Structure 1
Amino acid sequence: MDRGLLFFIICILVFKFSIGQNTNEIDSLERMIIVNPDDELQVDLLLQLSSEYGIDDFQKSLDYAHNAIELSTRRNDIKGQILSNIHIAKIYQKKGGIKEAFDYVIEARNLAKEKNYTNEYAQAIYLMANIYVEIGEYEKTAELCFEALKIFEELQEKQGICDVLGMIGGNYYMQGELDEAEKYLQQSIDLSKSINYKKGLGKGLTNISAVYNMRDETEKAIEYLYVGCRLFQETGEKVREGVAYCNIALYYLKLNEVDSAFKYTNLSMQLNELEPSNRNMVLTHIVRARSFLQIEDTAMFLSNMKHALEIADENGLKSLSYNAASNLLDFYSSIEDYDMAFHYGRLQYALKDSLDRNRSLSRLSQLQMLYQIEKEEQERKLNEQRKEFISGIIILTLIIGLILLVFIVFRYRVNAHLSKLKNEKLENELYAQQKDLAANVMSLMKKNEMLSEINEKLIKIRKELKSEDAKKKIANIAFEIENNTQDKSWEEFEIRFKQVHTDFYTKLMDLYPGLTSNEIRLCAFLKLNLTTKEISSITGQSPRSLEVARYRLRKKLNISSSSTNLTTLINNI
Structure 2
Amino acid sequence: MSFHKTLFFIYLLISGIANSQSLKNNEQLDQQLYKLKDRLESAKAESNTQKIAKTYIDLGNFFKNIELYAEALKNYQAYLDIQKKQDSSSVYVYSALASIDLDLKKFNEAKKYSHISLKLSKTIGYEKGKAEANALLGSIAEKQSDYDNALKHQNISLAIFKKLNDSTGLATVNENIGSIYEDLEQYDLALSYFKKAHEFAKHSNSNLQINIINNLGDANRKTKNFEKALRYTEEALKLAQQTNNASQIESALKDLARTYARTGDFEKAYNYLNNQSIVNEKELKRNNTEMVSAMQVLYDVKEKEAEVKLLNKENQINKVRQYVILITTGAIILALIVGFIYWKKRRKHEKHILEYQQQLLQADLDKKTAAEEALKREIDIKVSSLTNYSLHIAHKNKMLSDVSKTLTKIQGRNNELVQKKLKHLVKDIEQDLNQNNEWTELMGYFGQIHPDFFKIIKKIALKKLSSSEMRLCMLLRLNLSSKEIADILHITPDSVRIARYRLRKKLPLDSNDDLQAYLLNL
TM range (shorter): 0.5 to 0.7
Deviation digits for residues 523-564 of structure 1 (CA, Å, limit 9, x no counterpart): xxxxxxxxxxxxxxxxxxxxxxxxxxxxxxxxxxxxxxxxxx
Matched, 1:304 2:272: yes
Measured against aligned partners, the alpha-carbon deviations of 1:434-473 in whole angstroms (never above 9, x if no partner) come to: xxxxxxxxxxxxxxxxxxxxxxxxxxxxxxxxxxxxxxxx
| Residue identity matched to 1:143 | K
Rounded Cα–Cα distance in structure 2 between residues aligned with 1:187 and 1:322? 43
Partner of 2:76: 105
Tell me if the contact between 1:86 and 1:104 (Cα under 8 Å) persists in the aligned partners.
Answer: yes
Residue 169 of structure 1 is matched in structure 2 by 138
Q: 1:328 aligns with which of 388, 398, 420?
A: 388
1:178 to 147, 168, 191: 147
Distance (whole Å) between structure 2 residues aligned to residue 55 and residue 183 of structure 1: 42
Q: Residues 194, 213 of structure 1: CA spacing in aligned structure 2 closer, same or farther, 3 A cutoff?
A: same
1:89 equivalent in alignment to 2:60: yes
Q: Residues 104 and 80 of structure 1: is their aligned pair in 2 closer, same or farther, counting only changes over 3 Å? A: same
Of 165, 184, 197, the residue aligned with 1:228 is: 197
Per-residue deviation, 1:234: 0.5
- Judged with a 3 Å threshold, the aligned counterparts in structure 2 of structure 1 residues 173 and 2 are, in CA distance, closer, same or farther, namely closer
1:145 corresponds to which letter in structure 2?
S
- C-alpha spacing 1:349/1:141, structure 2 compared with 1 (3 Å): farther
The whole-number CA distance in structure 2 between the counterparts of 1:118 and 1:197 is: 20
Which residue in the other structure is 2:366 paired with?
none
The one-letter code matched in structure 2 to 1:140 is E
User: Could you say which residue in structure 2 is the equivalent of 1:147?
Assistant: 116
Distance (Å, rounded) in 1 between the aligned partners of 2:25 and 2:170: 23
Say whether 1:253 aligns with 2:221: yes
What are the superposed Cα offsets for residues 55-97 of structure 1, whole Å, 9 maximum, x if unpaired?
9943233334334434544444423322321222122122121
Q: Give the aligned residue type for 1:164.
A: A
Residues 70/296 of structure 1: CA separation in 2 closer, same or farther (3 Å cut): same
CA contact (8 A) 1:328 1:341 kept: no
Q: Structure 1 residues 135, 264: CA separation in 2 closer, same or farther (over 3 Å shift)?
A: same
Q: Look up the equivalent residue of 1:137 and give its one-letter code.
A: K
Query: CA offset at residue 196 of structure 1?
Result: 1.4
| Pairs aligned (count) | 314
Matched letter for residue 87 of structure 1: D
Gaps of 5+ in 1: 14-52, 355-573
1:532 matched to which residue of 2? none
Matches within 5 A, 1:174-573: 174-235=143-204, 237-316=205-284, 321=381, 324-325=384-385, 327-335=387-395, 336=397, 347=445, 350=448
Name stretches of at least 5 consecutive residues in structure 2 with no aligned partner: 14-23, 285-376, 398-432, 453-522
Shift of 1:3: 13
In the TM superposition, residue 137 of structure 1 has moved relative to its aligned partner by 1.2
Distance in 2 (CA, whole Å) between partners of 1:248 and 1:56 is 37
The alignment partner of 2:145 has SS state of coil
- Aligned residues: percent identity? 12
Distance 2:97 2:29 in 1: 21
- C-alpha offsets along residues 485-515 of structure 1, whole Å, 9 cap, x if unaligned? xxxxxxxxxxxxxxxxxxxxxxxxxxxxxxx
Identify the residue that residue 504 of structure 1 maps to in structure 2.
none
Residue 405 of structure 1 aligns with which residue? none
Q: Deviations over 1:215-261 (max 9, x none)?
A: 111122122122223333312x1112112212211111111111111
Larger Rg: 1
Are the counterparts in 2 of residues 252 and 260 from structure 1 also a CA contact under 8 Å?
Answer: yes
TM-score scaled by structure 2?
0.53
Report if aligned partners of 2:266, 2:391 keep a CA contact under 8 Å in 1.
no
Aligned Cα root-mean-square deviation (Å): 3.7
Cα deviation for residue 275 of structure 1 reads 2.0
Separation in structure 1 between the aligned mates of residue 25 and residue 133 of structure 2, nearest angstrom = 23
Instruction: Give the 3 Å change call, closer, same or farther, for CA 60–321 of structure 1 in structure 2.
Output: same
- Identify the residue that residue 78 of structure 1 maps to in structure 2: 49
